[in-house]
Amino acid sequence: MKNLKTAALAVIALVTFSINAQTTKKVDVAKSKVEWLGKKVTGQHNGDIKLKEGALVFKGDKLAGGNFTVDMTTINTTDLTGGYKDKLDGHLKSDDFFGVAKFPTAKLVFKTVTDKGNNVTTVTADLTIKGKTNPVTFDITVNGNTATTKVIVDRAKYDIKYGSGSFFDDLGDKTIYDEFELDVTLNF
């Protein structure tokens, strides 16, 4: 009888462990992409930036966590060519914007994760840019070995002031909007 109780407890412990087990899946940074879109009164620019590393954490088949590091030195404008592209890339990397010489990476760390059903999860994460950390909230969809999301970032929260109506008056049509978009596709 004692052996039967021991076996039953072992099975319960194994099932409980299996239900609560977490699996960390490393993101394939070469196959993943982060595309950005920044808007201003007179138009917009877009480009991409590379992930340095990242991982998603799952409990069973449900997203439970994650963290990512972005290589800010790879900021790349894709809607311009030649000198205009070089000028904008250089300006985005300068202290006016992301200051990549001093802050070569940005980091995103999941803090709360809420399953919404249909493979969609709402995430609140800490985003660190230029040494400043603020929360961002977004929905992420997981299908197979791919996760997609759109993250809206308010650059004013990271003290990125250049051309911002939040910091300067009378910019007129030179105003660059504070919010920029990141369209993210993660393969793991």
Which pLDDT score, from 0 to 100, does residue 19 have? 56
Q: Place 9 in a pLDDT band, splitting at 50, 70 and 90.
A: very low
Q: How many CB atoms lie within 10 A of CB 144?
A: 8
Q: Can you tell me the distance from the alpha carbon of 168 to that of 62, in angstroms, rounded to the nearest whole number?
A: 44
**What percentage of the chain exceeds 90 in pLDDT?**
80
H or E, element range at 108: strand 105-117
| Count of domains forming the chain | 1
Q: Within a domain: residue 11?
A: no
Mean pLDDT in residue range 155-178: 82
Q: Can you tell me the distance from the alpha carbon of 33 to that of 27, in angstroms, rounded to the nearest whole number?
A: 11
More confident position, 4 or 36: 36
Q: Place 4 in a pLDDT band, splitting at 50, 70 and 90.
A: low
Q: Within a domain: residue 16?
A: no
| DSSP designation for 88 | H
**If you average pLDDT over every residue of the chain, what do you get?**
90
Q: Within a domain: residue 8?
A: no
Q: Within a domain: residue 140?
A: yes
The CATH number linked to 121 is 2.40.128.110
- CA distances for 187 relative to 21, 122, 153, angstroms: 22, 19, 22
Beta bridge partners of 92: none
pTM of the model: 0.85
DSSP count for the chain of H helices, then E strands: 2, 9
Which pLDDT score, from 0 to 100, does residue 184 have? 98
